[in-house]
């Protein structure tokens, strides 16, 4: 398993984290998602680069694009 922490500037509250967790955790190959409002970070535990790419794409689709 791989783990990647992404900076997500649009995170402003716990509701944002809940939405992100629900949507990203539903992807095949994602085994965990954690988020921190104060640091605006999301950590995705996944099974590889393709899954991480899909997680990033999902974040963009739901209005939480990671910073480049």
The CATH number given to whatever domain includes residue 14 is 3.30.70.100
The answer to the question of residue 26 being in a domain is yes
The answer to the question of residue 66 being in a domain is no
Sheet holding 2-7, edge to edge: 2-7, 41-46, 30-36
The answer to the question of residue 40 being in a domain is yes
Query: Could you give the number of structural domains in the chain?
Result: 1
Structure-block tokens of residue 11:
């995170």
The answer to the question of residue 28 being in a domain is yes
For residue 26, the enclosing domain spans 2-61
- Look at the pTM and tell me if it is higher than 0.85: yes
pLDDT score recorded for residue 21: 98
List the one residue out of 51, 59, 61, 39 whose CA is nearest residue 2.
Answer: 51
The answer to the question of residue 67 being in a domain is no
pLDDT score recorded for residue 43: 98
The answer to the question of residue 56 being in a domain is yes
Per-residue pLDDT of the chain (68 residues; tens, 9 = 90+): 899 999 999 999 999 999 999 999 999 999 999 999 999 999 999 999 999 999 999 999 999 999 98
């Amino acid at each position: 398993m791989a783990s990647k922490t992404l900076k997500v500037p649009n995170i402003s509250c716990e509701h944002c984290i809940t939405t992100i967790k629900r949507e990203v955790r539903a992807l095949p190959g994602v085994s965990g998602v954690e988020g921190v409002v104060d640091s605006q970070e999301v950590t995705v535990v996944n099974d590889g680069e393709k899954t991480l790419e899909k997680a990033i794409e999902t974040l963009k689709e739901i209005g939480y694009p990671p910073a480049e």
